[in-house]
Structure 1
Amino acid sequence: MNLNRNPKQHKNNNGWSKMHGWMMDKLVDTEGALIPVNPEGPARLKPELDYQVFLENASRLMIRFKKPERLIRMIVNVIDEQLGISHAAILLHREHKNSFVLIDSKGESGVRIPVGFIRMTFENPLIKIFNERKNYFISETGVLVYDTLKALLKNKEAINGHREIADSIDLVIRQMELLKAIVCIPLYNKKNFIGVLVLGEKVSKHKFTRHEMGFFMTLANDAAMAIANAQLIESLQERVEEIKDLYNREHRIFIHTAIALAAAIDARDPYTHGHTERVTSYCLAVADELSGIPEALAYKNFKETLHIAGLLHDVGKIGTPDSILNKKGKLTKKEYERVKEHPVVGAAILSPIQELGDVAKEVKYHQERYDGKGYPEGIKGSDIPLIARIIAACDAFDAITSDRPYRQRKMAEIAIRELQANSGTQFDPLVVSAFLLAFEKGKILGSK
């Protein structure tokens, strides 16, 4: 049975044209929802709900969760308790099972589906639709709406002569009934299909409005990114746990894992490719000039901590949207505030790992300024850990000498002058002096 017929292949078929035209009227006019005429305006999920504020709060909350299952439970609970939906669930792809599994479900008594009760392979009609993204009866938004599909089946003029198509739609409807779904929204992380957000009917019994559908699609996009990030973090933590057992025998594996994670972060932005590796190299060169001072000697292992902190200083950007990281124009105030969260997010990711406790502190403070005008806490001078002060100077040098979406890179000599000009304000004078010594010795060669 072919669930992916292309309308262009049937342009000479009058029956197909009638059905496709009827279907597009229903789907495109309402972005996938059959909305009753309401002279007093659309029936919202909850009259008092501010969608934009809700999305902003939900987005900030989602990046704090490091366990995919806990994150999904939070998303489902929020939808069920705050949005007036009778039932909500999420199906998530599990690679080791090669199927989509019901991770969490929340709803009224008698509506909740047991976790793990439902599993769907890529051959399942519902999963196949979202995975291949070519099916003619999905709206332009990519959302499946139960009422729309049922109405299509009842339209004899549209379906006439297309029994196979009708059977395909019927199979999808059956899957939605199994999930008690009124709406199914796919979860995509970039181009990868990772799951399905399942919504039951509204408690008010009203149909979903166009605005509400757009709201849920945005929520689904944010949820998909957060889930993918949580999976990546979980994978990292699992890997670190494995490395802990091998630490005494193969200590270098830990460094290589950090390098791989740093490379994965850099890869999200073509303009910062190799950034963490260069910053770490500069940091180690500066460390050679400072290794004998009391502050450095106070560390249990100064250079090793600096090495790992340099590699992972931007790990918090895992929670920053690509649209902000790759933006060519000037960031808005709200976008800049989002970027400024990355040191705290990075520290939150690393701090639960016992061996990275010291590293987490350095990552948290690497955007502080020597004069106290940095972030996240505005601490100054020697209150900022030495390694964080070193990373700050090396990070700035690499930023100046690297291409960015909004400007071209500058010569290393110009970057050196900027470090000198900001010594004592943005940067620690001792660190700047050590950087200059390393530069004069040829240990710092500038950018790529």
Structure 2
Amino acid sequence: MSAHKKIPSWGKLQDWFVEKLMDNQGGVSPIGGNPNLFNAPLPKEGLQKQDYQSFLEAASRTMIRFKKPEHLIKMIVKTIDEQLKVMHTAVLLYKEEKKNYILIDSKGATGMKIPVGFVRLTVDNPLIRVFSEKNSFFISETGILNYDDIICGLRNRNILELQPDLYDNLLAVKKQMDLLKAALCVPCYFKRDLLGILVLGEKTAGESFSREEMGFFVTLANDAAMAIANAQLIENLQQRVEEIKELYINEHRIFIHTAIALAAAIDARDTYTHGHTERVTNYCVSIAKELDGVPEVSQYKDYRETLQIASLLHDVGKIGIPDYILNKNGRLTPEEFEEIKKHSIIGATILQPIKELSDVAKEVRSHQECYDGSGYPDGLAGNDIPFVARIIAVADAFDAMTTNRPYRKKKTVEEAIQELKAKSGTQFDPIIVSAFLLAYEKGNILNNHGSKDNHNL
């Protein structure tokens, strides 16, 4: 017995690709051959002003390509780690659903790495409050929280003696930076919201960060914040689209089940056509499958959903036909037959006011039309008859011929097939009859005869 492997979603494939890209040291690249995020490698002897500028320009161009915040962050962390020679780099990102700032990625040039997801900072965390409240005492003029500045503040005896609350806050911030092994914490603001924090360890050479380097990190963080906000917006929109799709699928499923129940209730009124709607719908499904790729059908796009619903509701108008006519044990009089013929108009009248079923109403009205124009109620002919109605007409006639009626016995399947062939081009659309015959030759018609579980097109 062969096991069927579950195909991963496109989102999971994207995640897998990015993970492989993170591990790749050459070859695969989103920007033409360089596995780093920004195709602007910086010189080992030190960063010059023009180097910063080229790096930031490349960063801005590349960051907008990422559609998932986590992918963008992984590439930023990887590139900073490889290009800027710090002990480690990490990014905390705010997650609305968790109300926390969560460590998304961490990488270290010397192997240092904080476990992803291990750090979760609440909005009340001292480190977060510093940036949320934009406390100028803690933050340097570059906008960065510098560990060296915190240490200087703690060594200031005036603060300890005259401002003990401030001293306690400084100490709390130091503990958080110790936890993250952070030399610098750079805020990522979008508008006024703190989206995340870029955490940088000490330089591998042991030097202090220059003012120019810190300014570079602020600009990089701001660019990243905008890219993250855009990526989050796209992600939220995609999630909303998926939710709407799921809602539509669920509502559609409920509607189809309701239509099936309604059709069954109508069939139950007529003892001679019990199960008729179910079978007609199954035949329509089989016909539609054989119409795939037929050139003449290419003009009818997205007809299958209409076919599914219209085939279920094609006889809904019988609700307006008296029981004594539906259940008459004998041949109908001309007057009674005229009453029966009204069911297609009654059905369309019931469905037409429902905006979503206006197309279905047209098909229901026309399912008794004949290809040569001799049908009812409007005497339409050829392609003037709605396409779905032409399919239902063949399925409906086949089921009528192969079930017993009070005034005649049913035909054999072979006899009914011959009748369809004989009336192809007069009563029925030849293309639809050909599709029906193909389904019959494949055994799909006999398999569906009386089936109750094949409504899906």
Give the TM interval when normalised to the shorter protein. Answer: 0.3 to 0.5
Larger relative contact order (Cα-Cα within 8 Å, sequence gap ≥ 6):
1
Q: TM-score, normalising length from structure 2?
A: 0.44
Q: TM-score, normalising length from structure 1?
A: 0.45
Larger radius of gyration: 2
